[in-house]
Chains A and B, each alone.
Chain A
């Protein structure tokens, strides 16, 4: 890994304020993304992955508490002044939001929405709306269209064009293919992959669908209840998860080409815990099938495992040869 990562997150806590009191959505997350690297971030709905993405550019509601540190290209996002923050947004890191349905302004033409970002940060780049549309495979004519005149896949392409328009170092893709059908999903993933390679971009790819991570990510982090429970090289982690939650997540999707798994994707019983009242000890223990008594009281921290230097797991069984991989 390179010495100065594009994104370096340390001990990040994000706590929403609600009428029921503080809601801890992200609880002590460390992340590193190197130049040109793609990190996949996986987890169920409500595990805090989107909150984490929003917090990276301080896009959470004003009353929300954020602590820890976020270094984006060496600059501290959490301590910078609002004016500085506006310059960093989109120019250093941009976001491809999920489901382009409502993330585009319905009463503004596509072209002017892309141009707005270019005008705001120009100097760093001299790309034009036309170039950006061509880059994502859309015709010039789309610039004059309104969002409702485009298909879901086209809107997602517009969103990607917009995200690339100011030449950022990092792209945060927050479930970019969730609302799309499988064919379009594959096209969008291919497009993101090509652009990333051509431009040497770093990417944080957020999804609940582990199957899309295998092709286009270098490393994968699995999140549960506001915390990363396992992180490691993508191939290795997806083939043999160590944390029982990652394993359950992997088993809930059928493996293409394996007829047996197609008929028996395994579900994971229970629901993700309510951030308002997290279980004691390891937050996963009520749903875990290998939990032991100590799991109810001791919350194991993310730590390196003995069998692989690149992997970290937060589980009491992490180094337990006999039960780790089944």
Chain B
């Protein structure tokens, strides 16, 4: 990877982010709702209070002035206060981000490891028992929405056996420090991360299987076999490194999407991350929260897109290595 390639990718990510910020401004201006309708529950605001609020939210003045105010405050990461909790939006988000990152991080690592393994093996042994069984199973996983797995796990594992908690981040009144607290957190993470893993496993392994099938006919595999390599080594050293390439971008991009929107999984398990915050903000028409959450979700996609490009450049010598 050379400097030019990295700079180009960074620049294009930055420009995309700017476009998203601008788009976000107009998106919330075309929402045909009184922005203050849901402010502080159902209590009515007096005219004077309304004026003050509108000024504070930067909703006075011309659209152009509003736009300038919006850009300025966004640049300072000042997203205003949540209508619902009245705390600063930035605080709300930064409090919830670690929970989501942990959940999504664990399930993504699991999904990549298991999905790539299943897909690579199924593609390599095309038509074998392993391929037939795993491909039917991953098709079912692929076709099922993840919240459905969540509901099943909730009903049959958490509900029936009580082995795992039905939701939340930690037990109420549990120790918040030390090893016991880590165990408690892990205990609460099992079912949500299993749900996300099952939800995304299907697509990851099907993508990997397809790209494996595409490499099967490649001449360099015949070369490797002719050299006297074992079948396993032909697969691991020659087929997988090439088959991984198309999967990398897909995996990274879908990871970006999950960060912004493990909405259904977090809702099913009342897991207080960004997904649940989004669901709540939509229900309460908490516009400042929503605006910031949209930005976080888009940034996640942009960042992981960038990471995909950079990883791609590392894995494939033909990319970004200008002579």
Q: Which residues of A contact B (CB under 8 A)?
A: 54, 57, 59, 85-91, 94-95, 97, 101-108, 116-117, 120-121, 146, 148-149, 162
Contact = CB atoms under 8 A, between A and B. Distances in A.
A97 B224 CA distance: 12
A90 B226 contact: yes
B33 interface: no
Contacts of A94: 226-227
A21 B228 CA distance: 30
Given A108-B241, A148-B317, A149-B323, A103 B228 contact: no
B226 to A, nearest CB: 5
Interface residues of B, number: 23
A106 B226 contact: no
B146 to A, nearest CB: 33
Nearest to B222: A59
A104 B220 contact: yes
Contact of A102 (B220, B245, B317, B323): B220
A54 B316 CA distance: 30
A97 B222 contact: yes
Interface string B257-280: 000000000000000000000000
B318 to A, nearest CB: 5
A255 B183 CA distance: 84
B221 to A, nearest CB: 9
A97 B223 contact: yes
Given A146-B317, A148-B318, A104 B323 contact: no
A85 B226 CA distance: 10
Nearest to A87: B228
A106 B317 contact: yes
Contacts of A97: 219, 222-223
Contact of A103 (B223, B242, B315): B223
Interface of B: 218-220, 222-230, 237-238, 241-242, 245, 315-318, 321, 323
A117 B242 contact: no
Given A103-B220, A104-B223, A108-B241, A146 B228 contact: no
Contacts of B321: 146
A117 B317 contact: no
Contacts of B222: 54, 59, 97, 103
A90 B227 contact: yes
Contacts of B230: 86
A306 to B, nearest CB: 41
Given A57-B226, A107-B316, A116-B224, 4 more contacts: A105-B223, A106-B220, A107-B242, A121-B228
A90 B228 contact: yes
Nearest to B316: A107
A67 B241 CA distance: 35
A102 B226 contact: no
12 contacts: A89-B225, A90-B226, A91-B228, A94-B226, A97-B222, A101-B219, A102-B218, A105-B242, A117-B227, A120-B227, A120-B229, A146-B317
Given A97-B219, A97-B222, A149-B323, A106 B227 contact: no
A286 B315 CA distance: 53
A94 B222 CA distance: 12
A97 B221 CA distance: 12
Contacts of A106: 220, 242, 316-318
A91 B226 CA distance: 10
Contacts of A146: 317-318, 321
A85 B231 CA distance: 12
Contacts of B323: 149
Nearest to B221: A105
